[in-house]
Structure 1
Amino acid sequence: MAEFEEDNLQKQIDEIEALSSIYEDNWTVVDEAARIFSIRIVDQQPKWTICLQVTLPPEYPTAAPPVYQLNAPWLRGHERANLSNDLEEIYLQNSGDCVLFLWVQKIQEFLQVKSWSDAAGKVTEEAEVNHWGHQSSSQQVELKGTFSESLDDAELPPMAHGEPITDRRSTFQAHLAPVVMLKQVKLHLQKLYENKKIASATHNIYAYRIYCEDKQTFLQDCEDDGETAAGGRLLHLMQILDVRNVLVVVSRWYGGILLGPDRFKHINNCARNLLIDEGYSELAGEVSKAPIKSKKLKNKKGK
């Protein structure tokens, strides 16, 4: 039993470190001894805010879910019930795994729909998809056409490259480029992958956010490239920092040793550091850079 609880405690510690790195000032330790924490989740309209307070029992995540409270004065009735059901369903679908990040993502999606519904009066499925930045199948066809048309005509600003982070033989490096149109995203990715070292990375995770001035909304998307949920976490970091008109790519060369949740911390830290260096986020600049162990990338292929 002691070994069982010790394993759960280590998983909780790993999860908390990753979440505190992602959410920064929106993450609060309520009572460390009692394992009580709070995450403030805010949409672009501050009126829609939910504080998710969780208590992590010794049995979590292996055999019990977090005990949680949803704190928001406007959250009532069927909305509260539906959101609670969604969170509980996520736990059932991922029983035995850490679920706090998935819970926060679900609440963020809920707030986005709430904000859109408040502004437009109603939300159709198409409107929800557009607002979340995930293109419908018809839009994907249109985007493919956009990428294929006059790609050489797009102006391509230079791409910046961050300092590598190395942990247990795995190396992470962020790359960043300003973008104001989708074809620039495509061009930058194509250009980046011409570098054989970067093309040979185990994962090239990316996310972009483009602000559409006329519609006052964002065109955004992400790619895990085999590192499950990494793209969504990267995009969520960019949303929290409210960066816009930028593409961020994080390359990871796997070193043969599993890093667990630390890999997400490194992905977000190197992305945040480069955003700070390039002046994209005043909010990110208020947070001191995480201490990192860095070294120059070797010429041989990472695994």
Structure 2
Amino acid sequence: MDLLTIEDLMIEGKIKDINDLEIYCHLITTNAVVFAGIPAEAEEFAEKLINIFHLINFMKMLLSQESEEEITAVSSIFYDIITVESDRTILCSFPSFNIDIRFTLTIEYPEKSSPIIEVCGPSVSAEIKHNLKERLENICNDKLGDLILYDCITSAKEFIDVLKLEVKNEKEMIENGNVSSDSNKNKEELKIKVPEIYGTDTLTDRKSIFQAHVARINSKEEAMAVLETLMSNSKIARATHRIYAYRTYVTKNDKKLPLNDCADDGETGAGIKLQHLLQIMKIDNVMLVVTRWYGGIHLGADRFKHIQNKARQAIKESGIEKEQTTN
């Protein structure tokens, strides 16, 4: 049995990292048992491999411990905006702008990969979300191999601070009467009356909590006003997902056209399911929001069942379904 050294294999390019080494160790350990006809060489080599396995596991433990310590550190520093969702996932929330950033650390972080970054914000423009995510991914690419959660969160805070300043300046322009046509439009939007909002009780399954809210609307602006009002509630602002869908109409060239929209807010596929629910129930002029607080345990398809059931409950208990079926 011809046994190459680890150094030989690394020179030949067959072992490039810890994962390759672990696979090789497993194969050779198996062969050492199979080729027991050379007991001296097999036992000696197997003993060396056992030591290598211990080293691999120790290195993995150090990497995992390093990530956990980083999460603990940033959650202590940014305690007011950080929610630890699991041992490898944190949620960074900026409720004033309805923006959430989820960082998921992979097994190979930080040595070989960056965190998976999700930017959610149902009432924020796609351009803002794209710019923020691109900014954070650039930091990750520039500092691959380093712990970068602190740098990313600090950069995100700076990005949000700039947005706050822009909003403040625009507000001052409105108050001073020095406004453009766009500013005048925003001023009119500020006058939108928030519709009455009905909320259901909560449902809890494996520590995840679900709640639905519904309101009668007549425009997209009223739908967004409902969402902003809900977001002003600190509990809802800290939720993991705020899924919504609305159906209304807009008049163009004397024609009444349907206006529909939805958002997942990180719960992929949930928004379109709510939109479909409104469609099959034939519910119009309504804004539907289902909130989920993630409890750390994956629910699989059950989460969609709970979202749909809470949505139905809100539509029925609010009286909206009865109103529209009798009209």
- Structure with a larger share of its residues in helix: 2
Say which structure, 1 or 2, has more relative contact order (CA 8 Å, 6+ apart). Answer: 1
Global fold match (TM > 0.5)? no
**Length-normalised TM-score, structure 1:** 0.44
Structure of greater Rg? 2
